[in-house]
């Protein structure tokens, strides 16, 4: 019996091994890359009724695709026009069909559209079917007029993707705020849009970042754009005319189902692929998008993190420091609170300089700052605060310090870092200052001069270590830069006799005039005021105790080296302007970095020339804007009374070469707004996120291009992908490739025959 089972088992084992080897062999023959990324969107192959049907009287529409699909965020992305009281239900599972069921009755002699935008995606890779619109009519015709255009950011002139563009027929002011759009479209990656299936006539045109999915301008935080004048709907171009009716069982791609050609726009930088606008065409209608959000200021948070400091955090950047005073302190007592504002200008830390107040557990504070009232008129807001700080007992403080690994106190941190002896050593200044702020006062409520600092065994007296502040200016180490010294506690007393500045040439020190000035908004800094020159080394010497903090702590003797760059590394821009119709308003020119930071702002006059010197070599960008209300800042649009203030970009990078003045004549209106943004000017992070879907497409495209390159390097002419992969990769089919080779051979034969004759 055992031999019998053994005889049966042996063939089974052999068969299993053979099957395994075959499977492994097949696996080895497959692409180690796993194949290309599928970028093909689903395709409509059948609809019941057909797309473009007339005299529709049913309650249901069924769409069938060539692969399994689903509808994403139907409540947000799918737009029914004209809007209905109850949106139709959309039924989609994991199959190839989508069913739309109408809950409301349909109006007679009306064209209806269902704009799926990019809601329909395949189940494999999530490829969206972009721009798919299903249309039908309850009458005997389909409305076929359209409006095309582009939406740009009013200030940055970059395209605004993925926002709705809609129309209203009449009473636009009220309808835009209260009712859904009559017809809608959605902007593509280059900001282009098309609104289809319009009846002949004029329409009021709007763009909207619809945050609450109401398809109306219902809240001020929604970005919007509008045209002041009504626009005429026009017939589609002959080459893009919509063929109607659509054959229900046709497998061919219908123009109603196809997205606008701008869907594959390569990036937001101005280097556009072909779009619905065309390469050299201006948009039919240009909408300038902005957010009319009132900058209502309010106090978000107040805190007293230790005995010597209190912090106020505001909702908006502060144009000027708020008025802050302690309620029980004399009004005439100045310098009681020294401010330190952060880079975003939203948080202000105040250092309490008087021991009569910082030793108290409870402080009552009054703050006054500019804001807007309920009617959005400028006003002053006054808040009364009660801040409490309870000092820990000494034993608790020591135990906490041990638990944290003996974190050094202010003076320990300063002494370990030592004196900054060069401008490069000043790079750690901000870290030192931040750590000092956390440790100043030592959270005891006692005198910071005696308790916030502990020296080593050789020196028991507390001292501050001065350091050069790290410059955040693009003009660092040039005479245009403002140099400063930073401390761990606010410096307040300066003995000018103990401050010395020398120019250093071949170890020879020549005295130079110098002053140290308290920074009005940075309590930890002293500004260095001196006539500094290019390509010169300086040494700033501070005698011991030449500077004292607000708590009486003196500085250590310090020698700080400063080396300014050579003038050979800097250049200049000379800008001249054509006349602009400013109508009594002031025009401003801004010099921008590639990451959109404003480096320089200057007012300009028509037909004038300005020169900006001491600019480090590199590429810069220019923006010109008109301050129509003369308030000194650019203002967004306000619906329905005003458009955003005019803004223009110089269409190319402004290149600065060392020792050279780049003379530029700028005609702000010569190039259309839609083509002014230069390719090197980056977008903000928030704006870039709008194009995430397109970014994913571009990434997949790049990966597929790399895949093709690797396959051809690896297999050469032997690489023969399937027609399915060829379709994904954008390559000709095998038959097309064969036909191309044959045609090439025939051409060669004909050429040889002509040569022989």
DSSP code for 328: T
At residue 495, the pLDDT reads 93
pTM of the full structure = 0.70
Once rounded to an integer, what is the mean pLDDT over residues 466-479? 83
> Is the pLDDT assigned to residue 606 strictly greater than 80?
no
**Bridge partners, 483 (sequence order):** none
* Cα 437 from Cα 351, distance rounded (Å): 9
Cis check: omega of the bond before 49, within 30 degrees of 0: yes
* Cα 350 from Cα 522, distance rounded (Å): 10
Phi-psi region of 570 (alpha: psi -120 to 50; beta: other; left: phi over 0): beta
> Is the pLDDT assigned to residue 458 strictly greater than 60?
no
In the three-class reduction of DSSP (H, G, I as helix; E, B as strand; rest coil), residue 429 is classed as helix
In the three-class reduction of DSSP (H, G, I as helix; E, B as strand; rest coil), residue 484 is classed as strand
pLDDT band, residue 274 (cuts 50/70/90): very low
Can you say whether the dihedral through the CA atoms of 355, 361, 367, 372 is positive or negative?
Answer: positive
| Distance (Å) of CA 611 to CA 113, 393, 582, 602 | 56, 61, 21, 10
> Is the pLDDT assigned to residue 472 strictly greater than 70?
yes
Choose the most confident range, by mean pLDDT, from 243-257, 467-481, 496-510. Answer: 496-510
* Cα 95 from Cα 391, distance rounded (Å): 67
Can you say whether the dihedral through the CA atoms of 413, 418, 419, 420 is positive or negative?
Answer: negative
Per-residue pLDDT tens for 376-402?
A: 778 899 999 999 887 766 555 555 544
At residue 272, the pLDDT reads 35
Per-residue pLDDT tens for 208-239?
A: 988 777 778 888 778 899 998 999 999 987 65
Cis check: omega of the bond before 460, within 30 degrees of 0: no
Dihedral pair phi/psi, residue 284, rounded to 5°: -55, -45
Higher pLDDT, 125 or 694: 125
Taking a C-beta distance cutoff of 8 angstroms, is the pair 740, 732 a contact? yes
At residue 450, the pLDDT reads 52
At residue 673, the pLDDT reads 92
At residue 132, the pLDDT reads 86
What value does the mean pLDDT of the chain take? 78
At residue 572, the pLDDT reads 92
Per-residue pLDDT tens for 716-754?
A: 877 888 777 777 777 788 888 888 888 888 888 888 888
Per-residue pLDDT tens for 170-198?
A: 765 678 888 888 888 888 878 899 999 99
Taking a C-beta distance cutoff of 8 angstroms, is the pair 387, 365 a contact? yes
455 CB neighbour count, 10 Å cutoff: 15
Taking a C-beta distance cutoff of 8 angstroms, is the pair 74, 90 a contact? yes
Work out the widest C-alpha separation in the chain, in whole angstroms.
113
Q: Which pair of tokens denotes residue 66?
A: 């060539």
Per-residue pLDDT tens for 48-83?
A: 999 999 999 999 999 999 888 999 888 878 888 888
Contacts of 648 (CB under 8 A, 6+ apart): 157, 623, 624, 625, 668, 669, 673, 676
At residue 33, the pLDDT reads 58
Q: For 511-527, give the DSSP string.
A: EE--EEEE-SSBTTEEE
Q: Which pair of tokens denotes residue 696?
A: 């994913």
Give me the helix-helix angle, 429-439 and 410-417, nearest 10°: 160
At residue 461, the pLDDT reads 67
Per-residue pLDDT tens for 514-537?
A: 999 999 899 999 999 999 999 999
pLDDT band, residue 268 (cuts 50/70/90): very low
> Is the pLDDT assigned to residue 436 strictly greater than 90?
no
What sections of 619-733 are H helices per DSSP? 685-690, 692-715, 723-729
At residue 751, the pLDDT reads 85
> Is the pLDDT assigned to residue 266 strictly greater than 80?
no
Per-residue pLDDT tens for 109-153?
A: 999 998 887 889 888 778 888 778 899 999 999 999 999 999 999
DSSP code for 535: T
User: Kind of pairing, strands 570-577 and 586-592?
Assistant: unpaired
At residue 185, the pLDDT reads 85
Residue among 731, 354, 728 at smallest CA distance from 720: 731
């Amino acid at each position: 019996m055992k031999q019998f089972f053994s005889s049966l088992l042996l063939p089974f084992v052999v068969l299993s091994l053979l099957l395994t080897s075959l499977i492994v062999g097949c696996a080895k023959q497959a692409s180690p890359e796993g194949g290309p990324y599928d970028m093909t969107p689903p395709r409509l192959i059948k609809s019941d009724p057909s797309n473009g049907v007339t005299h529709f009287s049913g309650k249901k529409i069924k769409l069938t695709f060539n692969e399994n699909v689903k509808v994403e965020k139907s409540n947000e992305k799918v737009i029914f026009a004209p809007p209905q009281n109850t949106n139709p239900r959309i039924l989609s599972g994991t199959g190839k069909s989508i069913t739309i069921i109408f809950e409301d009755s349909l109006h007679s002699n009306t064209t209806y559209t269902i704009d799926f935008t990019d809601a329909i995606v395949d189940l494999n890779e999530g490829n969206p079917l972009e721009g798919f619109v299903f249309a039908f009519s309850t009458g005997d015709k389909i409305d076929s007029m359209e409006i095309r255009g582009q939406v740009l950011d009013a200030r940055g002139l970059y395209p605004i993707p993925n926002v709705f563009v809609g129309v209203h027929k009449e009473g636009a002011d009220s309808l835009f705020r209260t009712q859904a759009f009559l017809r809608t479209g959605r902007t593509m990656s280059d900001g282009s849009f098309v609104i289809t299936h319009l009846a002949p006539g004029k329409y009021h045109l709007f763009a909207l970042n619809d945050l609450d999915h109401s398809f109306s301008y219902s809240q001020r935080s929604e970005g919007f754009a509008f045209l002041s004048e009504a626009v005429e709907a026009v017939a589609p171009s002959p080459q893009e005319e919509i063929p109607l009716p659509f054959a229900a069982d046709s497998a061919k791609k219908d123009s109603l189902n196809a997205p606008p050609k701008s869907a594959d726009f390569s990036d937001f930088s101005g280097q556009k692929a072909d779009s619905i606008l065309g390469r050299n065409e201006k948009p039919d209608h240009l909408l300038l998008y902005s957010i009319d959000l009132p900058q209502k200021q309010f106090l978000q948070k107040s805190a007293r993190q230790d005995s010597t400091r209190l912090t106020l955090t505001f909702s908006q950047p502060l144009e000027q420091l708020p008025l802050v005073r302690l309620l029980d302190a004399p009004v005439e007592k100045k310098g009681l609170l020294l401010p330190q504002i952060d880079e975003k200008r939203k948080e202000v830390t105040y250092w309490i300089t008087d021991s009569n107040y910082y030793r108290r557990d409870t402080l009552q504070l009054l703050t006054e700052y500019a804001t807007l009232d309920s009617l959005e008129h400028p006003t002053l807001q006054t808040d009364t605060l009660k801040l409490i700080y309870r000092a820990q007992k000494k034993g608790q403080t020591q135990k906490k310090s041990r638990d944290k690994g003996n974190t050094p106190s202010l003076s320990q941190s300063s002494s370990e870092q030592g004196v900054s002896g060069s401008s490069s050593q000043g790079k750690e200044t901000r870290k030192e200052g931040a750590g000092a702020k956390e440790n100043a006062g030592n959270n005891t409520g006692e005198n910071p001069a005696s308790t916030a600092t502990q020296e080593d065994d050789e020196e028991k007296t507390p001292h501050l270590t001065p350091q050069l502040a790290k410059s955040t200016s693009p003009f660092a180490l040039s005479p245009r830069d403002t140099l400063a010294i930073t401390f761990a506690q606010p410096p307040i007393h300066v003995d000018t006799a103990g401050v010395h500045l020398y120019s250093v040439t071949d170890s020879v020190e020549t005295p130079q005039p110098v002053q140290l000035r308290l920074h009005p908004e940075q309590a930890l800094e002293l500004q260095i005021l001196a006539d500094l020159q290019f390509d010169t080394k300086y040494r700033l010497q501070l005698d011991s105790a030449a500077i004292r903090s607000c708590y009486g702590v003196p500085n250590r003797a310090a020698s700080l080296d400063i080396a300014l760059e050579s003038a050979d590394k800097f250049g200049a821009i000379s800008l001249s302007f054509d006349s602009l119709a400013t109508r009594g308003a002031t025009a401003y020119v801004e010099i921008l970095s590639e990451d959109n930071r404003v480096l320089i702002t200057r007012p300009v006059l028509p037909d004038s020339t300005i020169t900006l010197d001491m600019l480090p070599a590199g590429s810069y960008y220019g923006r010109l804007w008109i301050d129509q209300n003369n308030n000194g800042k650019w203002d967004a649009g306000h619906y329905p009374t005003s458009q955003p203030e005019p803004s223009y970009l110089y269409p190319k990078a402004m290149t600065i070469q060392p020792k050279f003045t780049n003379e530029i004549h700028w005609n702000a209106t010569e190039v259309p707004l839609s083509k002014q943004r230069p390719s090197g000017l980056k977008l903000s992070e928030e704006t870039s996120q709008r194009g995430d879907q397109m970014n994913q497409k571009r990434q997949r495209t790049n990966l597929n291009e790399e895949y093709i390159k690797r396959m051809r390097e690896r297999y050469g002419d032997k690489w023969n992908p399937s027609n399915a992969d060829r379709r994904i990769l954008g390559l000709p089919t095998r038959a097309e490739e064969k036909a191309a080779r044959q045609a090439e051979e025939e051409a060669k034969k004909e050429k040889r025959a002509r040569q022989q004759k």
